Structure 1
Amino acid sequence: MNAYDISYNSLETFTKDLDPKNLKKLYDLGIKNLHDLFYYFPRAYDDRTNIMKIGDLRGEEYVVLKATILSVASPPTKSGLKMVKANATDGSGIIDLVWFQMPYLRKTLKPGEEYIFIGQIKSGYRFQMVNPEFKLSSSQRKISEGEILPIYSSSKALPQNSLRKIIHHFIKVYLHIFQENIPEEIIREYNILERREALKQIHFPTNNKLLEEAKRRFAIEELLILEMGIVQKRFQSEYISSGNYHLDDNKALVKKYLSTLPFSLTNAQKKVITEIYKDLNQGKIVNRLVQGDVGSGKTVVSMVVLLYMLENSYQGVLMAPTEILAVQHYLSIKDKFEALGVSVELLTGSFTGKKKQQILKNIADGKTGIVIGTHALIEENVVFKKLGMIVIDEQHRFGVIQRKTLRDKGVLANLIVMSATPIPRSLALSIYGDLDVSIIDELPPGRKPIKTKWISTDSDIKIMYDFIRKKLSQGRQAYFVAPLIEESEKLSAKSVEELQHEVSSYLPNFKIGVLHGKLKNNEKDEVMKQFKNHEFDILVATTVIEVGVDVPNSSIIVISDAQRFGLSALHQLRGRVGRGSYQSYCFLISKTDNDTSKARLQIMEETEDGFKIAEEDLRLRKSGEIFGTKQSGLSDLKFVDIVHDIKTIKLVKEISYRYLQRHKGQIDNVFLNKDIAEKFKES
């Protein structure tokens, strides 16, 4: 067994090094193999040479403090959780220290004693640490100058010292198997710390200079794995497919389609269509992200491109994340396309028997020009005669493997992915290394702006309900959104059940439907269908409605506990209304005192521009909150902040491009290839 295999080997292989009792404890921390263990990096460091003063704190950082306890109390909490609260000072300021569900600390902590406290700072009326680790300053063993101890995310079952000992032992015995996974030419050119030394320094640093070098090395490594994996796919696709086809550039069908629309294309839509035409006419494989705000007309752009490819002898497909969204796309184009002589089929998971077999036969024979569908499109039995263009709606709902499976069905791998989550251009270009980026930054003329109001008092809530009652009586419909499905002891946010009860008490004479993530897919589709058909006046839901069917008659959305949502999520939810001819309204209910939450709600009142909102979202939020999907590859970066480290991201992207250009799309480091394969494998 070589080093390459051992690093991803299960920890069960190392029984002589590991007490069986600790195996499960490590598994509970998400550490399942040797690679996981070595890459389980400290979240902070106990550096006695770098104890901070309370007066110098900036907030939202892990720190080590030395402070004297002033007082200890056990105040009651609304949730019933047991809390111990202490105040401490180091002479430069006072900090609040809070522990939950550890009542014994009331007697352990002694006023007048000096302690070392280690934890994350939270800002507020006064700086606060929640559940910090601590030890008596006088009992702390003498630490020689320069010694820095790692602080890991540990558990009660496997405390800090035990975890330190395990990691220290494995580094001592198995560090040699971790061979270099960054190509030697990149290591030399950018003066990067060698992998084994970096692993040693990141866990048990000799000094702060070497610790910073180790952090820099792993920032480059994690970005290199991500960017090389993304960019290599594009290089390989272009090497294989570029220039292998020619289009006659027929556009008669497209012109007929555009003449049937009750509106003219915006300049932004025309620009994006021209960009795609240019790629196709140069024989390039299209690999493009089309992003635009809710209602900006991305779907019309995709229909033009699908018709263009069909007119030039290629089939097209549009894949949507839900059956109800696929049906909506199908119904919106079916009549127009069939009037043009274009055969359109719908294919979803609910199709079975002879009907499904006939659809599959028509697709395989080429009788069907355009197929609209769901995940059912990637099934093995779906075979195309001459697939040349793939459009994926709400691309973040699909994984890398699902997209690749669909592309592999085509004679050409042209791909357009659409996203209604606006991302600032600089960030989009950095993140989507394998995609060209087109932005539709213009809304169709004549759209009525959605009136947005932040509701913060009980009296305003009552006025809001009176207003909604009037609109519902006029035949309109309304969404009510809650951030949780069930009641929670830990969070004060309204659950769907609580919200449903509140809505029915204020609006007793209207029919209410309920929609949340715990329902099965067919149940969700049925509820949305009933709401669209006006069988319900009100839909109480979680954020599952963020991407969903158009209900033009729904002109009101109420978002409860709005402070719990990021700006992008609030903007997407607001986009559920304003889709018909009626004036639409968005109410944001929040009694927050948090300054950041207040800023978000004020921005929502001030603008509907999704790109402005995205810029503000980047400014106000931590980067890790922006991209939650696993397939983006960005949600688990440890050393890179995607908001503030755009220069580093761009640099590594350039390094990846230059390297792959020199090596004709191939990576000659077996360990980097293995890490890329692990990163991009379907979870």
Structure 2
Amino acid sequence: MIEAYKKMYTKLEDLPSKYITAKQVVNLKSLGIDTIYDLIYYFPRAYDNRSNVKNIGDLTFNEYVVVKASVMSVLNMPNRSGKKIVKAMITDGTGIMEVLWFGMPYISKSLKVGEEYIFIGQTKKSNLFQFINPEYKLYKGQEKETAKEILPIYSSNKSITQNNLRKIIKKFLENFLKYFEENIPNDLVKGYKEIFERTQAIKNIHFPESVQAIEAANLRFATEELLILELGILKNRFIVDSLNTKKYEIEGKKEKVKKFLELLPFELTRAQKKVIKEIYDEISDGKIVNRLVQGDVGSGKTAVATVMLIYMAENGYQGALMAPTEILANQHYLGMKERLEKIGLRVGLLTSSIKGKKKTEILEAIANGDIDIVIGTHSLIEDNVVFKKLGLIVIDEQHRFGVNQRNKLREKGFLGNLLVMTATPIPRSLALSIYGDLDLSIIDELPPGRTPIKTKWIANDKDLSIMYDFIYKKVNSGNQAYFVAPLIETSDKMALKSVDKVSEEIERRFSDKKIGIIHGKMKAKEKDEVMLKFKNKEYDILIATTVIEVGIDVPASTIMTIYNAERFGLSALHQLRGRVGRGSKQSYCFLISDSTTENSKQRLSIMEKTEDGFIIAEEDLKLRNSGEIFGLRQSGFSDLKFIDIIYDSKTIKDVRDLCIAYLKKNKGKIKNEFLKYDIERKFSDLQSGN
């Protein structure tokens, strides 16, 4: 049966012409439709349903509805990529609604302020209810039209009309719906919610019998896409967990850990101690550790990782710490070496710049067990790196490494204990879903005594001039400053600051200062050299792109200035701001933006009000496309069609719990062959970047 099921992935051009013409194949390809599956799963973006007329004051989230309202205002605005957005505010006397059209600037000319229109679409929720790209028609005072049929409205282009799309899809449903076997096992969703069978849902999402049938079809496909995603993330974990009891025994020596903690110039925070205990407990039970340690910039993740590396070394196992750049690996090495050697541990460094006899000696020392803890970059995953008894792997800034790189290092281990660290806060419920194969530890507390970074939004030329004078005085007194631009080179298409333009400005205003430049087109070695010079105070000022988002600590850098700040997500702004405030001096962050959009105002105001990365992450998810948030593309969350990761967090959790229960019952195996194939297909596409 599975072979017949696979036929739904047949390419359209391979079908006989009685089903589809060559011209239709070309037109559908322009919409990203290549296979039978793509076409059947090319769901409507809205419905032309004139019977479901509602007042704005009675709207609910995510419903297909018709609103009769007057236009209050119409604006043409550029979005972050420079494309036009048409924004209209409408009212019917019971409330106000926002209507947005993307990439259709001509609409602003066809809408007249004060005129009454019918708007047909799906409601979204921002601060107000929204329509995104709805159908609209001039209301000429006629009585409400009625129609038995609810017509689908698809995303389309000039190559193919709505009518033609409807006809092709209807024809394919008649001929190929038989291939779409049920891929949600009853025992998986038993007791959850009553949901449509797959073929019933497909029919009703394209050509619905009623509004209620649309809602039921939506529920079914929301459940399906989450099941495929969550099971794909979770299944490997349960295969490991089923074997993960009393894998090894550790004596539990802690003398070197105690000595290390005594050498620290600070006491660990409550949050750090809690995370260390979580990891200790797993190791004491002989479990293979598989944990994400998430904490804000400066929360002390490295100290937690160091404690665990010492603990494993003291009990006879080697440790490895992999960093994304050579300069960051060097920073970890220099930060650990002196303290760890004082307590009798041997620390080694392995990076691509270490060659010849020195590299051979390090490789031999790792293989012989003469090095307890090795710190390095991608060099650690090379085939010639062999550990005598690797017991714990720590990966810093985990989103900089692919899953395959992570696994390659893990395969070198005598044990498979793994800690991955990230300084990009993600709301807990979302982190549990994205990293379902990892246990989650959160360091939600900063060390005491840190001076808050003062953040100011620079919105006009007067404030900009004051800012430059202020920075000059600070740099003159020994402070260092970053200036970050969104582009490397000037673009004719986008009126944005580039590194070369910022360089001209800074060299003019700071002509007596030493200035360095770093950007993504430079080779890794060149970037490392520039960052090292900045750290060693050979530069007073560093002009950069976001390549400095993850970087080394430069205690004397106290000023971060970001041009066109409206172009960055909140999480990116927060990460950039985290490059300063590393020392004891007061630090400052300036956000330069003359944008007047509501989104930009909200974003920059949030940055002025808080330094809490978790609050910022929540707000970022609300203000941005969820797929833009770090890590979501590779996890599959960026292409969810039926789930909003903010508003549907409970549904995500519910389905995740269903998946966990199902996998426990089936010892990590997926019994339904159709669901299993869909998961394999989904995750092979994600890994290949499709």
Instruction: Name the TM-score, length of structure 2 as normaliser.
Output: 0.86
Distance in 1 separating the partners of 2:532 and 2:523: 14
**SS of alignment partner, residue 581 of structure 2:** coil
Relative to 1, partners in 2 of residues 1:211 and 1:129: Cα closer, same or farther, differing over 3 Å? closer
Relative to 1, partners in 2 of residues 1:603 and 1:503: Cα closer, same or farther, differing over 3 Å? same
1:232 to 224, 230, 235: 235
**SS of alignment partner, residue 391 of structure 1:** strand
RMSD of aligned residue pairs (Cα, Å): 4.0
**SS of alignment partner, residue 368 of structure 1:** coil
Q: Does 1:164 align with 2:163?
A: no
Distance in 2 separating the partners of 1:22 and 1:357: 61
Identity of aligned residues (%): 59
1:290 to 286, 289, 293: 293
Q: Which stretches in structure 2 are left out of the alignment for 5+ residues?
A: none
Q: Does 1:195 align with 2:198?
A: yes
**Alpha-carbon contact 2:72-2:91 (below 8 Å) kept:** no
Distance in 2 separating the partners of 1:571 and 1:97: 28
More displaced, 484-493 or 3-12? 484-493
Partner residue, 2:6: 5
Relative to 1, partners in 2 of residues 1:447 and 1:46: Cα closer, same or farther, differing over 3 Å? same
Provide Cα deviations, 1:334-391, integer angstroms capped at 9, x if missing partner.
3333444433333334455555444444333333322222333334443333222121
Q: Please show how residues 398-417 of structure 1 align to structure 2 within 5 Å.
A: 398-417=401-420
**Alpha-carbon contact 2:72-2:89 (below 8 Å) kept:** yes
Partner residue, 2:188: 186
Q: Please show how residues 310-389 of structure 1 align to structure 2 within 5 Å.
A: 310-352=313-355, 355-389=358-392
Relative to 1, partners in 2 of residues 1:653 and 1:82: Cα closer, same or farther, differing over 3 Å? closer
User: What is the letter of the counterpart of residue 154 of structure 1?
Assistant: S
**SS of alignment partner, residue 469 of structure 1:** helix
Distance in 2 separating the partners of 1:318 and 1:382: 14
**SS of alignment partner, residue 571 of structure 1:** helix
**Alpha-carbon contact 1:268-1:442 (below 8 Å) kept:** yes
**Alpha-carbon contact 2:73-2:90 (below 8 Å) kept:** no
User: What is the letter of the counterpart of residue 466 of structure 1?
Assistant: D
**Alpha-carbon contact 1:247-1:280 (below 8 Å) kept:** yes
* Aligned-pair CA distance for 1:555: 0.8
User: What is the letter of the counterpart of residue 149 of structure 1?
Assistant: L
1:495 to 482, 495, 498: 498
2:594 to 591, 606, 611: 591
Distance in 2 separating the partners of 1:326 and 1:421: 19
**Alpha-carbon contact 1:96-1:126 (below 8 Å) kept:** no
**Alpha-carbon contact 2:230-2:433 (below 8 Å) kept:** no
Relative to 1, partners in 2 of residues 1:123 and 1:548: Cα closer, same or farther, differing over 3 Å? same
User: What is the letter of the counterpart of residue 244 of structure 2?
Assistant: S
**Alpha-carbon contact 1:84-1:103 (below 8 Å) kept:** no
Partner residue, 2:37: 35
Partner residue, 1:483: 486
Q: Please show how residues 549-628 of structure 1 align to structure 2 within 5 Å.
A: 549-618=552-621, 621=624, 623-628=626-631
* Aligned-pair CA distance for 1:291: 1.4
**Alpha-carbon contact 1:69-1:87 (below 8 Å) kept:** yes
User: What is the letter of the counterpart of residue 156 of structure 2?
Assistant: S
**Alpha-carbon contact 2:289-2:416 (below 8 Å) kept:** yes
Distance in 1 separating the partners of 2:303 and 2:366: 23
Distance in 1 separating the partners of 2:378 and 2:34: 31
* Aligned-pair CA distance for 1:170: 2.5
Provide Cα deviations, 1:46-66, integer angstroms capped at 9, x if missing partner.
223235667878999987666
Distance in 2 separating the partners of 1:304 and 1:84: 51
Relative to 1, partners in 2 of residues 1:313 and 1:483: Cα closer, same or farther, differing over 3 Å? same
Pairs aligned (count): 678
Partner residue, 2:647: 644
**Alpha-carbon contact 1:187-1:194 (below 8 Å) kept:** no
* Aligned-pair CA distance for 1:395: 1.9
User: What is the letter of the counterpart of residue 248 of structure 1?
Assistant: E
* Aligned-pair CA distance for 1:109: 9.0
Distance in 1 separating the partners of 2:210 and 2:486: 45
User: What is the letter of the counterpart of residue 317 of structure 2?
Assistant: Y
User: What is the letter of the counterpart of residue 460 of structure 1?
Assistant: D
**Alpha-carbon contact 2:44-2:152 (below 8 Å) kept:** yes
Partner residue, 1:50: 52
**Alpha-carbon contact 1:241-1:412 (below 8 Å) kept:** no
* Aligned-pair CA distance for 1:204: 2.4
User: What is the letter of the counterpart of residue 441 of structure 1?
Assistant: D
**SS of alignment partner, residue 639 of structure 2:** coil
* Aligned-pair CA distance for 1:221: 1.3
Partner residue, 2:154: 152
Provide Cα deviations, 1:240-282, integer angstroms capped at 9, x if missing partner.
3321111111112222322332222222212211111111001
Provide Cα deviations, 1:49-103, integer angstroms capped at 9, x if missing partner.
2356678789999876668999999x99999x99998999897689989796877
Relative to 1, partners in 2 of residues 1:25 and 1:375: Cα closer, same or farther, differing over 3 Å? farther
**SS of alignment partner, residue 563 of structure 1:** helix
**SS of alignment partner, residue 601 of structure 2:** helix
Q: Which stretches in structure 1 are left out of the alignment for 5+ residues?
A: none
Relative to 1, partners in 2 of residues 1:87 and 1:36: Cα closer, same or farther, differing over 3 Å? closer
Distance in 2 separating the partners of 1:474 and 1:200: 71
Distance in 2 separating the partners of 1:178 and 1:619: 35
**SS of alignment partner, residue 153 of structure 1:** coil
